[in-house]
Amino acid sequence: MSDSKIRNMEEFAALSGVSRPTVSKYFNDPESVRASIRTKIEAALEHHDYRPNIFAVNQNRKLTKNIGIIVPYLADPFFAEIARRIETLVIAEGFRPILLSSHGDTNLEVSNLEALRQIKPAAVLLAPLGRTSDRQAIMDFCDNVPTVNFDSNIEGAGEAFIGHNNVQATDVMIQYLTRTGEPPVFFEMRTPPNPNAIKRRNAYLAAMERLGHTPQLIQAEGEGWNLEEIGYETAKRAITNKELSTNTVFCSNDRLAIGFLSAAYELGVKVGHAEGCSLRVAGHDNHPFSRYTCPTLTTISHNYDLIATRSVEIVMSMIESEQRLEERPTTLLDGELIMRASA
Amino acid sequence: MSDSKIRNMEEFAALSGVSRPTVSKYFNDPESVRASIRTKIEAALEHHDYRPNIFAVNQNRKLTKNIGIIVPYLADPFFAEIARRIETLVIAEGFRPILLSSHGDTNLEVSNLEALRQIKPAAVLLAPLGRTSDRQAIMDFCDNVPTVNFDSNIEGAGEAFIGHNNVQATDVMIQYLTRTGEPPVFFEMRTPPNPNAIKRRNAYLAAMERLGHTPQLIQAEGEGWNLEEIGYETAKRAITNKELSTNTVFCSNDRLAIGFLSAAYELGVKVGHAEGCSLRVAGHDNHPFSRYTCPTLTTISHNYDLIATRSVEIVMSMIESEQRLEERPTTLLDGELIMRASA
DNA sequence: TATTATTTTTAACGCGCGTAAAGAAAAAAA
DNA sequence: TTTTTTTCTTTACGCGCGTTAAAAATAATA
């Protein structure tokens, strides 16, 4: 590797003995040039460590090789984990992921969209805030940039939606809980940031009715994304005041459940499905930490890998076909019951 | 807001009644043009929604308004939380954060560095993998891009280092544990990915010697970043085989401690400083979830806010002064004892 | 009002690369 | 070998903006 600095493609082309337009062609698609030429260029590359200026390249292309990823809250391990997998897949496809977090803030979400639009990404994977999203801003964005919506469904936004089958998942858990003990109380936020929570609430109510049980909602009052704390405080109150009408609690998501377990532990309430336990607690999401709670959390798994894989698959097919999808296919991934110690 | 699409600065300048170079000047620093001109431009901006093409702008600048942030593993809530704060501060300073995660992978770390170099960032905040980093690649990078190294110290890399005072923090915890009960066993990985762990091990050994106690290291064998699992497995073995020489365990970090608590719970070992508990467990980092473990985790807090604030402060001063620092100032932030239920 | 200092306009070049057209060269087919 | 097809080279323009130098306009000062 010679240390001679190459300023631009012109210089590099001269060094490799190939014309600049051909070199340009090579960098856009190595297969598009003759093997003999390719060899020359790649030989030169080994000696001179040149790569095209990314800004100049992107300025002259309608679309870049960038793929934007927006998640609502990256400090939530659920989204961190999904983002990690999506990034890995995107890189494997030869694109460059640009990961942005909205940090739970509507304005930041909008400015993330604007930032991405400027970058002219080939496509965007968007997990919106949900209830607090600026719907109009998102729709505008999706008109201009091919987008796949995942996790939180903003009706009509993007070319496709990949999300959880909240109804199926909720049903499975309720079935399991009722078959193994008392029917569950539903533990959630009154105004959850994420629309999945609303779907889960409704699914709970419907399932309980169908099964002939009386539903009970315990609704936490907090706002924002500090879910463990909200779950903890509300659980402490609910347990202390004996608000629970049954000995079984189904939490709208694992982070609330983690807060619940913490409160129960502190109050000396033994949680679990085993003999001698006075309370059963289940969650929803298969949060990365749910495997290590005390007791380990029975929950519904939403396959991280699958949601990432499917989202990227659809994005790639959109990019290849170079056209928008006429319909808006909706993929709802089934959840899987993860039986652990807590319920 | 008229919907007339503006193609470039030329058109926008014409519409606002100001010359293009002056408009260019305005976008680089609004204060640099006369108030009357500024008013004209801003009036036009309200009607026409134009912003300079980011690629064209960056092509012609030596340095962009981008600030790179690289963390070793974004799915770790510790780094997610720090990244979140750094991003917020960077945005407040009027820069654009570019967050990249190395996902625990040496090659990805190197290609993240290369990606950032292409983007000509004003500066970079780098939390390296540590032991598995490609030291040479990092040093090369730091020669070309003004970088601040944080969390894991790569000796000589970057213009400054901001990290934890592992010695102080470890000492404080050992003092606390020995004053309130038996001296601790140290629970860690044999080959930890992060160099802080080595510092903590050595600090433990030194402190124990100084205090006249016999040290004991319980070393987990795993590799990688799945720390809870590694902690869980090793703790299960250690407890079952009665390997612990005292009733107190000091974990090298909170994620190992979370695994440890999970194992202890499963084995029916009561953890806590209270009457009737047979084991005390302490951690290190004040992980976002340590507040919700069962029992809540006694740990050493490393102030997230401070590490983010200091790192960004130094980066900003580097950018403003437009010169590299002659020394390499090292800031070690003291940890603070967080007394909770586990020890 | 005249003078000086500051800012803006005009005109023009450059950044590094995408891309198009026409002719030359190489490879494939006849 | 000749003809056809494919690929490459040469030449040249354009992308949108940063930046500079000289001339013009404006503001501040005397």
Q: What is the 3-state secondary structure (H, E, C) of A221-257?
A: CCCCCCHHHHHHHHHHHHHHCCCCCCCEEEECCHHHH
Residue type, B217: L
| CA of B12: nucleotide with nearest C1' | D16
Q: Which residues of A touch B289 (CB under 8 A)?
A: 228, 258, 289
Strand D lies under 7 A from the Cβ of residue A318 = no
Mean pLDDT value of segment B251-265: 97
Q: Are residues A284 and A217 in the same domain?
A: yes
pLDDT score, position A321: 80
Cβ of residue A33 lies below 7 Å from strand D: yes
The reply to whether B135 and B220 lie within a common domain is no
Say how many C-beta atoms besides its own lie within 10 A of residue A243's C-beta. 13
User: pLDDT tens-digit profile of A165-223?
Assistant: 999 999 999 999 999 999 999 999 999 988 899 999 999 999 999 999 999 999 999 88
Q: Could you tell me if residue A151 is inside a domain?
A: yes
Domain match, A316 and A297 both: no
Domain identity same for B241 and B170: yes
Question: Is B310's pLDDT higher than 70?
Answer: yes
**Alpha-carbon distance B320 to nearest alpha carbon in chain A (angstroms):** 24
User: Which residues does chain A have within 8 Å of residue B262's beta carbon, measured at their own beta carbons?
Assistant: 291-294, 296
In the numeric block, which tokens belong to residue A291? 């495997």
Compare CB distances from A84 to B54, B74, B294 and report the shortest one's residue.
B74
Structure tokens at A237: 């109150």
List the beta strands (DSSP E) in chain A: 66-71, 96-101, 123-126, 147-150, 160-164, 185-189, 217-220, 248-251, 280-282, 299-301, 330-333, 336-338
Assess whether A218 and A256 both reside in one domain. Answer: yes
Residues B195 and B246 in one domain: yes
Structural domain includes residue B341: no
Residue A30 CB lies within 7 Å of the nucleic strand C:
no
Task: Please give the Cα distance from A17 to A44 (Å, whole number).
Answer: 9
The percent of residues above 70 in pLDDT, for chain B, comes to: 98
Q: What is the phi/psi pair of residue A217, to 5°?
A: -105, 125
Examine the domain organization and report whether B227 and B328 are in the same domain.
no
pLDDT for the residue numbered A6: 86
In a domain, A59, yes or no: no
Q: Greater confidence, A49 or A68?
A: A68
Of residues B63 and B100, the one with the higher pLDDT is B100
Residue at minimal CA–C1' distance from D6?
Answer: A34
Same-domain pairing of A286 and A184: yes
- B4: pLDDT confidence band, cut at 50, 70 and 90? low
Question: Minimal Cα–Cα distance from B175 to chain A, Å?
Answer: 26
The 10s digit of each residue's pLDDT in B141-196 is 999 899 999 999 999 999 999 999 999 999 999 999 999 999 999 999 999 988 89
Q: Which of chain B's residues have a Cβ under 8 Å away from the Cβ of A289?
A: 228, 258, 289
Pairing state of beta strands A336-338 and A299-301? Answer: antiparallel
pLDDT mean over A38-42: 95
Question: How many structural domains comprise chain A?
Answer: 3
pLDDT at residue B321, rounded to an integer: 80
Cβ-in-10-Å burial (0-12, 13-18, 19+) of B14 comes to middle
What is the overall mean pLDDT for chain B?
Answer: 93
Please tell me which residue lies nearest to nucleotide D9, judged from CA to C1'. Answer: A19
Statement: residue B3 has pLDDT above 80: no
Confidence at A4, pLDDT banded by 50, 70, 90: low
Whether pTM > 0.85 for this model: the answer is yes
The reply to whether B340 falls in a domain is no
More confident of the two residues A49 and A178: A178
Residues 166-225 of A with CB under 8 A from B: none
Q: Residue B205 is inside which H or E element, if any?
A: helix B195-211
In a domain, B60, yes or no: no
- When pLDDT is averaged across residues A70-79 and rounded to a whole number, the result is 92
Quick one: B152 and B182 in the same domain?
Answer: no
Calculate mean pLDDT across residues A262-282: 95
CA→C1' distance for B109 and C17 (Å): 28
Task: In whole angstroms, give the CA distance from residue A127 to residue A152.
Answer: 6
Q: Tell me how far CA of residue B186 lies from CA of A149, B9, B195, B210, B336, in angstroms.
A: 46, 63, 16, 16, 19
**Is pLDDT of B1 > 60?**
no
Per-residue pLDDT, A99: 94
What's the CA–C1' distance between B343 and D12, in Å? 76
Residue of A nearest to B112 (CA): A96
Pair A90, A172 in one domain: no
B chain contacts of residue A54, beta-carbon cutoff 8 Å: 118-119
Q: Is the model's pLDDT at B2 over the cut of 60?
A: no
Query: A172 with A267, same domain?
Result: yes
Point out the nucleotide closest to B53 (alpha carbon to C1′). D16
Kindly state the average pLDDT of the residues B298-321: 92
Does residue A343 lie in a domain region? no
For residue B275, the SS3 value is coil
- On whether the CB atoms of residues A98 and A121 are closer than 8 A, the answer is yes
- 3-class secondary-structure state, position B153: coil
Please name the nucleotide lying closest to A25, CA to C1': C18
| Tens digit of each residue's pLDDT (9 = 90 or more) over B275-299 | 899 999 999 999 999 999 999 999 9
Candidates B54, B74, B262; nearest CB to A118: B54
Distances, alpha carbon A183 to alpha carbons A178, A210, A244, B249, in Å: 5, 12, 11, 40
CA distance A262 to A265: 5
C strand bases under 7 Å from protein CB: 7-12, 14-21, 26-27
- Whether residue A1 is predicted with pLDDT greater than 70 in this model: the reply is no
B53 to chain A, any CB pair closer than 8 A? The answer is yes
In a domain, A338, yes or no: no
Higher pLDDT, B322 or B341: B341
A83 Cα to chain B: minimum distance (Å): 8
Mutating which of A85, A292, A293, A297 best tests the B interface, going by the most B Cβ atoms within 10 A? A292
Can you give the residue range of the structural domain that contains B313? 65-163+305-333
The number of beta carbons lying within 10 Å of the beta carbon of residue A118 is: 15
Using a CB–CB cutoff of 8 Å, tell me whether B261 touches chain A.
yes
On the question of pLDDT at A313 being above 80, the answer is: yes
Residue A32 lies in a domain: yes
User: Are B170 and B296 in a shared domain?
Assistant: yes
CATH number, residue A123: 3.40.50.2300
